[in-house]
Structure 1
Amino acid sequence: MEQASNPAGGAGADRPRLAFYNVAETADLLRMDQSTLYRHLRSGRFPAVKIGGRYVVPRQVVERLVDEVIAAGRCVDVAEWAARAALSGGVA
């Protein structure tokens, strides 16, 4: 498993880079409430994997979303971004 390095050397240094984030981790990364993220997951407006009753978000989804925001240089609507990804056969 890949190792993430924390340039500041603080908490989280040398933690494994997870392939998937749970809802709490994803919400924390995106600085949003878990209930808001659950609403988006249940409605299909945010890409995730549902295993039984549990959602997990691939790390690549978060990384590609960040890349898209930086490339666009503006606010990106996640629902539109996810819809484009679905039409193109993968995560945007």
Structure 2
Amino acid sequence: MDTTKTSTAEVPAADATASRPAFYTAAETAAMLRLDESTLYRHLRRGTFPGLKIGGRYVVPGAVLERLVADILTTGRCIDLGSWTEQWRHDQVAALARAAAADVTIVGGAG
């Protein structure tokens, strides 16, 4: 029997995506990023890090962490969190606009 424990602070391998939680608590996220929890909470409250506030609790989507890591690895550079979050928001709004435009059907359009 394997008694090895997996820490929630570890970022799982890419092929383990299916077993990852959809959301991480602020404590789990701070541990993964090696941040003090208060630092992460400050960024979540300021909106400089994407998260979801439910009542008084913050959670961070696993997809945000995956995208952040992927972007860092793609650029091979240090990323400014505030700028990254702005770009992430811009990309999300653009994706929603494209999806909305694709669903629009003009009835009686020019023919």
TM-score range (shorter-chain normalised) is 0.7 to 0.9
Residue 53, structure 1, aligned to residue 56, structure 2: yes
> Identity over the aligned pairs, expressed in percent?
51
- Count of aligned pairs: 81
| Structure ranking higher in helix proportion | 2
TM-score w.r.t. structure 1 length? 0.80
- Correspondence for 1:29: 32
The runs of 5 or more residues in structure 2 that have no matched partner are 8-15, 94-111
Query: CA-to-partner distance for each residue in 1:38-79, whole Å, 9 max, x for gaps?
Result: 000000000001111111000111111000000010001111
Which residue, out of 24, 40, 44, partners 1:41? 44
Shift of 1:89: 1.9
Name the CA distance, whole Å, in 1 between partners of 2:6 and 2:60.
20
Partner of 2:5: 11
Q: 2:23 aligns with which of 20, 24, 27?
A: 20
TM-score scaled to structure 2, two decimals? Answer: 0.67
Q: Does the alignment pair 1:74 with 2:68?
A: no
Please, which runs of 5 or more residues in structure 1 have no aligned partner?
Answer: 1-8
Q: Where does residue 4 of structure 1 map in the other structure?
A: none
User: What is the letter of the counterpart of residue 10 of structure 1?
Assistant: T
Following superposition, the deviation at residue 34 of structure 1 comes to: 0.1
| Rounded Cα–Cα distance in structure 2 between residues aligned with 1:17 and 1:85 | 21
